[in-house]
Amino acid sequence: MAGIGDTLIATPLLRELRANFPDATIDVLAMWAGSKDLLESNPHVNRVFQKNLLKCGKLEAVRFLLSLRSERYQLSINTHPQSRIHYRIAAFLAGAQVRISHEYECFNWLDRWLVTAALPQDYTRHSIENNFDVLPLIGAKKKPTAHEMDFFLTPSEERFADDFLVKHKLFGQKILGIHVGSGGTKNLPLKRWPLKNYAGLVRQLNKERPDLRVLLFGGPEETKDHEIILAQANRELTLEAKTKNLRETAALMKRCSAFLSVDTALMHIAAAMKVPNQIVIEAPTLNVTNWPYGNHFTLVKNPVVNGRNLEYYRYDGGDIKGTREELIAAMESVKVVDVFAVVTKLI
């Protein structure tokens, strides 16, 4: 029910559940259409229910969740990190007999009443490892399988990416993928690296590294930002990755030589696609629990955050700590020259 990146982080647990219970019905309830896209063709999942409970209204949301009771689920798992009480209310209304969640700083008596078991969360381990803590509670254990984030692409999606490279004369070129966005809920847009910095980076790369192609990734919400960058860029060296869904986006990201972002859903997809030379700009929300999993990455350190990420953001259901001005200044402290140096060193 949380973000698209959190859905991808949950896929290793889905793999383990299927390995332990090969005949079980394993369904997923997702908030975002992108989460549903991500899970399409995942062999460890039977069905994906997708409903934006934020937009549909409270009455419709309750009716939808109560309708899931007809499935007679035995077990419901709120995967880590889903800290807001709304996720546990959803699990309760869906009617599973056993309801498991991690226990967050914001837990109160109602949270504890809504679940039948709560696990401690551990900020020193990745969310994937926190999710594996569920297994002993349900008589399961980690199997000797590869613990990777799963994103199963179809042959047609792979062909789309290859056709895109051919159409835009990108085969054999060095490609830097960039995602300028981030989550849009709460005050999460404040963790973005300033758009003017991305534009300045692209201009400098176009000028000093004409051997490098820049590919801008994102959904409709990034369209205006891309237009601003493209208006200042060399259009022969910079273009927008126009895709119809997250699956085509992932297939195209897989062809990149490097990928740059803050901690976003596309950062996790880049890790799942094993994009080489992954670069992450340190934002206040980045910590051990949500690092790119299973993929080497280079961190561009933030001199203001300076490793104090958990002072800014914890899984307590709240915003990033700090005023708007403070958070903007924190992200502005990462300079274009620093990111340019990392990009040009890696590719």
Per-residue pLDDT tens for 256-296? 999 999 999 999 999 999 999 999 999 999 999 999 999 99
Domain boundary residue, one of 78, 112, 138: 138
- Summary mean pLDDT of the chain: 94
Is 17 within the bounds of a domain? yes
Q: How far apart are CA 123 and CA 120, in angstroms?
A: 10
Least confident of 139-148, 153-162, 271-280: 139-148
Is 148 within the bounds of a domain? no
Could you read off the pLDDT of 175-226 as tens digits, one per residue?
999 999 887 777 889 999 999 999 999 999 999 999 999 999 998 889 999 9
Domain boundary residue, one of 68, 103, 138: 138
Distances (CA, A) of 343 to 33, 124, 146, 296, 331: 32, 28, 30, 15, 18
In percent, the amount of the chain with pLDDT more than 90 equals: 90
Residue 185: predicted pLDDT:
73
Could you read off the pLDDT of 235-256 as tens digits, one per residue?
999 999 999 999 999 999 999 9
Q: pLDDT band at 143, cuts 50/70/90? A: confident
- Do 66 and 213 lie in one domain? The reply is no
- Domain membership of residue 230 as a residue range: 155-346
Is 301 within the bounds of a domain? yes
Is 241 within the bounds of a domain? yes
- Do 219 and 132 lie in one domain? The reply is no
Residue 23 belongs to domain with CATH number = 3.40.50.2000
Side-chain half-sphere CA neighbours of 93 within 13 A: 18
39, 40, 332: which is closest to 193 by C-alpha? 332
- Do 175 and 213 lie in one domain? The reply is yes
Q: Is the pLDDT of residue 325 over 90?
A: yes
User: How many domains would you assign to the chain?
Assistant: 2
Distances (CA, A) of 282 to 124, 157, 333, 342: 17, 31, 10, 13
195, 320, 184: which is closest to 265 by C-alpha? 184
- Do 109 and 244 lie in one domain? The reply is no
Is 146 within the bounds of a domain? no
- Do 112 and 215 lie in one domain? The reply is no
- Do 94 and 126 lie in one domain? The reply is yes
Query: DSSP secondary-structure letter at 279?
Result: E
Is 117 within the bounds of a domain? yes
Domain boundary residue, one of 138, 168, 183: 138
Q: pLDDT band at 145, cuts 50/70/90? A: low
Average pLDDT over residues 291-303: 96
Q: CA torsion 237→240→246→249, rounded to 10°?
A: -20
Is 147 within the bounds of a domain? no
Residue 154: predicted pLDDT:
95
- Do 133 and 217 lie in one domain? The reply is no
Q: pLDDT band at 29, cuts 50/70/90? A: very high
Q: Is the pLDDT of residue 64 over 90?
A: yes
DSSP assignments along 34-68, one per residue: HHHHHHTT-TT-SEEEE--TTTS-HHHHHHHHHHG
Could you read off the pLDDT of 94-109 as tens digits, one per residue?
999 999 999 999 999 9
Is 252 within the bounds of a domain? yes
Q: Is the pLDDT of residue 163 over 90?
A: yes
- Do 164 and 302 lie in one domain? The reply is yes
Residue 251: predicted pLDDT:
97
- Do 165 and 126 lie in one domain? The reply is no
Sequence-ordered list of residues with C-beta below 8 angstroms from that of 51, at least 6 positions apart, any chain: 29, 31, 61, 64
Residue with tokens 């404040």: 190
- Do 187 and 121 lie in one domain? The reply is no
- Do 196 and 318 lie in one domain? The reply is yes
Residue 55: predicted pLDDT:
87
Q: Is the pLDDT of residue 317 over 90?
A: no
- Do 165 and 205 lie in one domain? The reply is yes
Residue 147: predicted pLDDT:
82
